[in-house]
Structure formats: C-alpha cells, structure tokens
Structure 1
Amino acid sequence: MNISEIHVGDQLRGHVKEDMEQDFIGEVEKIYENSVLMQIIESDEIDKSNVIELNNKIVVSCHSVSPVKPLKKAN
C-alpha cells in the first residue's frame, strides 16, 4: 500500500514475520516515512503473548498492510 493512501485512524490488516505468526488488524496511530505505528486491535490467539510483549503496538512497513475488507451486509 502506498503511504499516501494511509491516514491516522484507518484500520488495516498487517503482517510482520519477525513479531507475529499470523495477520492482525490494527488502527493507525502515527505515520512515518515508509511505515506506520499501529494499535493492535484484533489478532490470532497464537500471537496473544507476542501482542502482550509488544504492549499492543507495532510498527509495520506500508508495504505489509492492506485495507480491512468491510463485512458483507445481509439483504
């Protein structure tokens, strides 16, 4: 994702191989030159201890995030 497409408050799906085993969803708190600081708001149970160790925050490259797809509305 291009850094110019990201805004504070956006919810994004991210993956950081070094710190988390599975994808997670986070909210953007700060934007850097090529990365973002995110508050982890949803993660896999397998990463629970990693999230605690990270104090629910993680810096992610803008190339390792994508928009969270909205839930399909029931008709």
Structure 2
Amino acid sequence: MFMAIEVGNLVRCKANGNMEADFSGTVEKVYENSALIAVTEYDEKDNMNIEDLQHKVIISLTKMKPIKAQK
C-alpha cells in the first residue's frame, strides 16, 4: 500500500534512470502508480539531466516519501 502522496506535497525521491542521485521536489500530478514531480533540489552532478528534463520527472510512488504535506 502506498503512502498518501497528494498534489502539493514536498517529497524526497530515490535516484532513477533519469537522475544519478536522490532529489526532492513538489508533486504536481498523481497517477495510478506514479507522480509528476517538479524537481527543486538535486545533486550538482544531475545539472545536465535536470535541464534536459525541464525540471520535471515522473517517478514511481514506491520510490518517494513525503517530506512535508500541503497546508
């Protein structure tokens, strides 16, 4: 069972095929098993990746955890 991930949550995500290091961001849209994340904090080595992705990543809900819920 997935944790409650909702639009507006700040989440910490594990590195995936698009990013070499863990990163943080805000949930923009939630799908059935994944979410669209607007990346706000990332490792310097991912600078090129994040520019190519235009600061947005779709990632599995199982690869993220909420840091802060929307108020």
What's the secondary structure of 1:68's corresponding residue?
strand
AA aligned to 2:50 is V
CA contact under 8 A between 2:20 and 2:45: conserved in structure 1? Answer: yes
Q: What residue in structure 2 maps to residue 26 of structure 1?
A: 25
**CA radius of gyration, larger in:** 1
CA contact under 8 A between 2:15 and 2:23: conserved in structure 1? Answer: no
What's the secondary structure of 2:25's corresponding residue?
strand
How many residue pairs were aligned?
Answer: 68
Gapped regions of structure 1 (runs ≥ 5): 70-75
Gapped regions of structure 2 (runs ≥ 5): none
Counterparts of 1:39 and 1:17, CA distance in 2? 15
* C-alpha displacement of 1:66: 1.1
Stretches of 4+ aligned residues off by more than 3 angstroms: none
Report the identity percentage. Answer: 41
Q: What residue in structure 1 maps to residue 12 of structure 2?
A: 13
Counterparts of 1:17 and 1:61, CA distance in 2? 9
Q: RMSD across aligned C-alpha pairs, in angstroms? A: 1.6
Q: What residue in structure 1 maps to residue 52 of structure 2?
A: 53
* C-alpha displacement of 1:16: 3.8
Counterparts of 2:33 and 2:6, CA distance in 1? 13
AA aligned to 1:2 is F
Normalising by structure 2, report the TM-score: 0.88
Normalising by structure 1, report the TM-score: 0.83
